[in-house]
């Protein structure tokens, strides 16, 4: 039986960063069964007292002390948390000291700004980009392609839609997508609505075995989902995208996040979203 440990992610904001870093750290210990709890919005001494109570209750009931991974920017709140009966590791504290030394100035000790609304204009840009992605999903509307930062093309279920939404949500990138369908294949050339926007196009491909699995979940035993048809569609699509000189990314073993990051890098959009 795997040893079992309880982990608390404690944050003065959403806890998303604490969870993300914490989960990655914990994956380094596959032989332990971790029970995870997030305590978000711990931004006052009252909230931290509640958190300490929860952690101490767990410490009392279990054989091992809980592990507490925090991202707290307020020194008083962090100090109060550290009085609990768990192993406390703050994911920010040490680095803030190192950066203070390097930069020769004190940190603001302000609440973390990530995952908040931050700059309202930048936030509005993300929301607008989501609306753009929804309106320009699946080749629905092709009129506003000149406003797209990138237009993803590829066969149905190659990963276009989730990637567009992710690019919009996380980076405020206006991403449209256009499915290559058997109709397009007969003509052999890039579909008409795409032709004026060659420099914005980015191709996604996928291996036929994975595509047939994905499509079978949606439309079991259909011609659409058959391995033979998937093979043929992918083959024709790759030829078409290659002839058009497009960059083509294989999404077979990639997550939405990995596809998105690759696109940002390949297109140079990464430099823009980092300004």
Residue placing its CB nearer to its own copies in the complex, 195 or 255: 255
What is residue 144's three-state secondary structure? coil
Site for its own copies in 251-270 (CB under 8 A): 253-258, 261, 265, 270
Binding mask 41-80 for its own copies (x = CB under 8 A): --------------------------x-x-x-x-------
Cα dist from 119 to 52, 79, 230, whole Å: 33, 30, 45
Q: Are the CB atoms for 9 and 38 separated by under 8 Å?
A: yes
Q: Choose, by CB under 8 A, the member of 115, 187, 192, 219 that binds its own copies.
A: 115
Candidates 32, 83, 135, 140: give the one binding its own copies (CB under 8 A).
Answer: 32
Distance from C-alpha of 191 to C-alpha of 67, rounded to nearest angstrom: 55
Q: Is 186 a residue that touches its own copies (CB under 8 A)?
A: no
Burial class (CB within 10 angstroms; exposed 0-12, middle 13-18, buried 19+) of 153: buried
Between 244 and 261, CB nearer to its own copies: 261
| Cα–Cα distance for residue pair 83/89, rounded to 1 Å | 12
**Residue with smaller CB distance to its own copies, 130 or 244:** 130
The alpha carbon torsion through 101, 15, 124, 147 (nearest 10 deg) reads: 90
For its own copies, the binding residues in 190-249 under the rule CB under 8 A are 217
CB of 61 to its own copies, least distance (A): 17
């Amino acid at each position: 039986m795997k040893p079992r440990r309880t982990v608390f992610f404690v944050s003065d904001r959403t806890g998303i960063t604490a969870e993300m870093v914490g989960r990655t750290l914990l994956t380094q210990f596959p032989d332990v069964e971790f029970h995870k709890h997030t305590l978000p919005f711990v931004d006052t001494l009252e909230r931290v007292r509640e958190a300490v109570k929860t952690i101490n209750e767990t410490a009392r009931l279990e054989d091992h002390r809980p592990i507490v991974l925090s991202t707290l920017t307020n020194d008083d709140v962090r100090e109060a948390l550290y009085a609990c009966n768990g192993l406390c590791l703050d994911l920010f504290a040490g680095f803030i000291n190192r950066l203070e030394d390097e930069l020769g100035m004190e940190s603001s000790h302000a609440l973390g700004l990530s995952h908040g609304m931050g700059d309202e204009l930048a936030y509005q840009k993300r929301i607008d980009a989501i609306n753009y992605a929804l309106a320009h999903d699946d080749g629905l509307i092709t009129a506003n392609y000149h406003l797209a930062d990138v237009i993803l093309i590829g066969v149905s279920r190659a990963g276009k839609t989730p990637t567009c939404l992710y690019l919009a949500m996380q980076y405020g990138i206006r991403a449209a997508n256009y499915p290559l369908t058997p109709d397009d294949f007969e003509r052999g050339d890039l579909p008409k609505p795409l032709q004026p926007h060659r420099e914005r196009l980015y191709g996604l491909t996928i291996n036929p075995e994975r595509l047939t699995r994905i499509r079978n979940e949606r439309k079991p035993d259909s011609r659409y989902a058959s391995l033979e048809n998937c093979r043929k569609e992918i083959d024709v699509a790759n030829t078409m995208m290659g002839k058009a000189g497009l960059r083509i990314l294989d999404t077979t073993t990639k997550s939405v996040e990995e596809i998105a990051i690759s696109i940002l890098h390949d297109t140079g959009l990464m430099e823009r979203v980092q300004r």
